[in-house]
Amino acid sequence: MRLLPPEAFAPVYEPLVGKRVGFIRPIGNVGDQLIEMATLQLFNEYGIRCKHQDPNEPLDESLDLLVYGGGGNMGTLYMNNWELRSRIRRFGLPITIFPQSFSSEEGRDYAKVYVRERASLGFCPAARLAPDLPLGLEWTERIAPVRDTGVFLRRDGESAVRRRWWRSDPARVCRTPVEYLRLAARYRRIITDRLHFAISGLIVGREVTLLPNSYHKNRSMHETWLVRFGCRFAQSVKEALAGFVASRAPEIRWQHTPLVSFSSRIPSKAS
């Protein structure tokens, strides 16, 4: 299932058509790998020549520009990626930042910057809003759910939700984006504060509630894009579970309606 068609990403990809692009892979987890999986798919869709440029190796002189991938976060929250961007700036090529979230101002000039949600425009007003790239990921594998509700919470400094010890962090359970998608597919309903696990759940057609993270990213992504795909937002696991129960309330009431009461509402032939 693909949430957005390739045409939705034309403002990001069309300026690169006919160019020789060096792709810079941000430092990140399996959610960032999911972004890269979508990024490369869309490069192929648009017929763009792309090769990976290792930031620690000499620059490939055949390249026209560099693209910094959509993972890793802009600003200073993750210093390893801040330093990575410092290294690639020394190559001297124009750099396009693919759709990102900003946790703080970057204070650097790039050829083009795209942000994936509206709140980040406050840190980079010159950026252009574009969809998060996994929203364009094509995934055709069909897996039937085998469990009802899964609660998956992150275990790092970006967490903003109270976590019980037995809750799983999907970024630690999975090693590849395919495993991410397959794990999400096992559940009918998903509650998570991992943004790209929530998106994985939407891609495989599951009922998803996204929880907040430590800054604006999750809420703003929900308001900017995910709400249109039926994703809910809740402040806590308890609130999310209550939302699932409320959404099933008509079904529950129907199951508990006494038969005599139901029968009494059937109009007679005379009426």
Residue 258 lies in a domain: no
Q: In this predicted model, what pLDDT tens digit does every residue of 89-105 receive, in sequence order?
A: 999 999 999 999 999 99
Residues 96 and 124 in one domain: yes
Pick the last residue of a domain from 136, 163, 198.
Answer: 136
Q: What are phi and psi of 257, to 5 degrees?
A: -75, 125
What band does 10 get if pLDDT is binned at 50, 70 and 90?
very high
Residues 86 and 63 in one domain: yes
Residues 86 and 157 in one domain: no
Residue 96 lies in a domain: yes
Residue 57 lies in a domain: yes
Residue 259 lies in a domain: no
Residues 85 and 132 in one domain: yes
Q: What is the pLDDT of residue 248?
A: 64
* Residues paired with 68 in a beta bridge: 24, 97
Res 165 pLDDT > 70: no
Residue 108 lies in a domain: yes
Residue 261 lies in a domain: no
pLDDT above 70 as % of the chain: 89
CA-nearest of 55, 64, 134, 139 to 99 is 134
Pick the last residue of a domain from 136, 160, 177.
Answer: 136
Mean pLDDT of 56-84: 95
Res 46 pLDDT > 90: yes
How many domains is the chain built from? 2
Residues 203 and 104 in one domain: no
Report the mean per-residue pLDDT for the chain: 90
Pick the last residue of a domain from 136, 167, 198.
Answer: 136
Residue 237 lies in a domain: yes
Q: In this predicted model, what pLDDT tens digit does every residue of 238-263 receive, in sequence order?
A: 999 998 877 664 443 333 323 333 22
Which range of residues forms the domain containing residue 224? Answer: 147-247
Do the beta carbons of residue 102 and residue 123 sit within 8 Å?
yes
Q: In this predicted model, what pLDDT tens digit does every residue of 134-162 receive, in sequence order?
A: 999 999 999 999 999 999 999 988 999 87
Residues 191 and 233 in one domain: yes
Residue 268 lies in a domain: no
Residues 131 and 155 in one domain: no
Res 45 pLDDT > 70: yes
Rounded to whole angstroms, how far apart are CA atoms 8 and 130? 8
Q: What is the pLDDT of residue 260?
A: 30
Residues 189 and 97 in one domain: no
Residues 30 and 121 in one domain: yes
Rounded to whole angstroms, how far apart are CA atoms 144 and 267? 40
Res 33 pLDDT > 60: yes
Q: What is the pLDDT of residue 243?
A: 85
pLDDT above 90 as % of the chain: 83
CA-nearest of 165, 198, 193, 166 to 180 is 198
Do the beta carbons of residue 181 and residue 200 sit within 8 Å?
yes
What band does 166 get if pLDDT is binned at 50, 70 and 90?
low
Walk across the sheet containing 95-100 and list its strands: 49-52, 20-24, 65-68, 95-100, 112-115, 128-129
- Encode 59-72: b = buried (16+ Cβ within 10 Å), e = exposed: beeebebbbbbbbb
Q: In this predicted model, what pLDDT tens digit does every residue of 182-218 receive, in sequence order?
A: 999 999 999 999 999 999 999 999 999 999 999 999 9
Residues 13 and 114 in one domain: yes
- Domain of 42, CATH number, reads 3.40.50
Q: What is the pLDDT of residue 157?
A: 87
Residues 108 and 17 in one domain: yes
Residue with the bigger pLDDT between 245 and 83: it is: 83
Helices first, then strands: H and E counts in the chain: 10, 10
E strand intervals along the chain: 20-24, 49-52, 65-68, 95-100, 112-115, 128-129, 147-152, 187-192, 207-210, 232-233
Residues 11 and 119 in one domain: yes
Place of tokens 């999907």: 170
